[in-house]
Structure formats: C-alpha cells, structure tokens
Amino acid sequence: MEQRHLGSTGLRVSRIGLGTLTWGRNTGEHDAADQLKAFWEAGGTLIDTADVYSGGEAEYLLGRLVERLVPRDDLVIATKAGSVPDPDRRFDGSRGHLLQALDASLERLGTDYVDLWQIHAFDPETPLDETLHALDIAVTSGRARYAGVSNFCGWQLAKAATWQLASPGIRTRLASTQMEYSLLQRGVEREVLPAALDLGVGLLPSSPLGRGVLTGKYRHTTPPDSRGATDMAMFVEPYLDGAAGRIVDAVATAADGLATSPLAVALAWVRDRPGVAAPIVGARNARQLTEALSVEGLSLPDEICRALNDVSAPVHRYPDQDWSTL
C-alpha cells in the first residue's frame, strides 16, 4: 500500500487507516485478529483507536493482538485522549487528565509509546495552551512520537497549529487533525481543510463511507445486520434523506461504469482529496475490510470526480462565496 507523509512531518502512514471503534464491543477478538492480519499483509500501517472506545477494550484488544500477530515496528499506532464518560463534562483537556489518560492507554496497548497521540476534542473549559502543553510533554518524554487533534473546528485548529509553530523546537507541531469527511459530509472544506493545508496539518477522515450509507446498502431497505438496525440507528439516520439518496445514486452509477463497488468509488474519492493523508476505515470483519483495501488499485477518472463533486457540493455562502457576486 502506498505510504504518505502525515502533514509536514516525517511520519509516513498507509493511505488507508484501520479504525477500531467497534473492537471489544461489536467486533470480537477473532474478527479483530483477522482484520489486523489482513491489513498488515496488505501493507497497511496506520491503526486508529482511542481510550474511550469500548471503555478501553479496543486498546486492550489491539495491544494483545499486536503482541501475537504483527511486529510493533511495522505499525503506526494512533490513539486519542480527552473524552470522558461524564454527562456533565464531555471533554477534559486538562494537562493532568490527558497525561494520566496517555499512561493508561500505554498500559492497555502494552507499548512504551504511541506513534500519534491526539486530543479527542476541543475543551472550552481548559486554556488551549494547557491542553497543547500536554502534547509537548508527551513527545519530549518519549511517550508519543507525534501529536495531533481531532474534532477541532477551523478557528480552533488554526489557533492550535499556529501556537505550536510559534516556538520551533520547543513546541510539538501538529501532525494531523481527524474529522468526519465523505461525499455526504463535506463541511470540513469550508474552514478546517484550508487551515490544515495552510499550516501543514494532515487530514485523517473518519466515516469516509458516510457512516456506511455510501456503500449503497441502505438504498432500498435497512439490512438487519447493519448499524441502522441497532442501537446506533441515530448515527446513520442523518444520512438517509433525499439529498443523500441522490449522492448515493450517483456513486452507484459511477461504480457500475467502472465495474467496481460503490464502497470503492466513495473511498477513492475521499482518499485522493487535497490534504487527505489517510481515511480511517472501520469494518465488522476481514471480508468487509478486504473490500475496502481493494481500492488501492483504483484511481477515479477526472470526469467522474467532477460529477461526484457537483452532486455532493455543499452550499457555502457568505463569507466564503466570491464577493464579486454580491
């Protein structure tokens, strides 16, 4: 699999990442092991997890599997900290909480360091410089090799990345930002992606298949084994409206013309967008993951990219539109 630099850093990652959101909950050890082995054998390196995925079970399972199946040095392990299971405070970006969470992640993962450590979300109750100082400590102490953020809006990312660049060699530059991005969710193109491109921050798209909707499996009904038929139905429902249906139909048409799957078309589109380092793909089993990995040999023709861009184009008005038209 092709490797890409993560932002303006020396860290190279596979251009498809493996997500572990459901590991330890909907994905058991056997299926997780099959996924990890298939991913590694395909040349995949980037594996994304978080301290809150399945209450820590995802990290624990990943650590056990790496010890048995895959050389640690062959992987780029990324995890996150900052989310808390507290209804009164969803995020905690304090230095104390973050560093304590990192140490707990390392213990569950069974490793001395993570390759990429990310702040899971912006915490408005903690000074941003305190949150970012935790990244500096993690890197200088050797517990993390690179640092990033997740779910930061445009101004938050720009402020954080600029702050880190203000003192080269003292502060750790941001390598990445992880955000939802797909043909069904192009909101990052308004401010986040321009900021990332300008500041040398690589984008790691989550939910690149539109929460599974872009695979086409919801076009006519809700499969009984899908997320839409479980307690995660609310996660899928926002992408089942008429506008989404038109985009899904366009993806299916493109797939028919290219003799491939809608999954491959949707994933190739987001993988090759400017500023994207590696979409993060989650799968229930190795068969689903193998289908996603087959996109490696696919490059979408320009005319198909233009058609998909047009049908999925988000509406950006003031202040993003051309002032000459006002």
Active-site residue set = 53
Helix (H, G, I), strand (E, B) or coil at 303: helix
User: How many CB atoms are located within 10 Å of the residue 269 CB?
Assistant: 24
H-type alpha helices, the chain: 29-41, 57-69, 95-109, 128-140, 154-165, 192-199, 233-236, 242-258, 262-271, 286-293, 302-311
How many Å from the N-terminal Cα to the C-terminal Cα in the chain?
46
Strand (E) or helix (H) holding 123: none
What is each CA distance from 304 to 11, 182, 227, 309, in whole angstroms? 31, 16, 29, 8
Which residues lie closer than 8 Å to 205 by C-beta, 6 or more apart?
178, 179, 180, 181, 182, 270, 276, 279, 280
Q: Which of 132, 211, 129, 206 is nearest to 172 (CA)?
A: 132
d(CA 243, CA 252): 15
Per the structure block, which two tokens stand in for 141? Answer: 């102490």
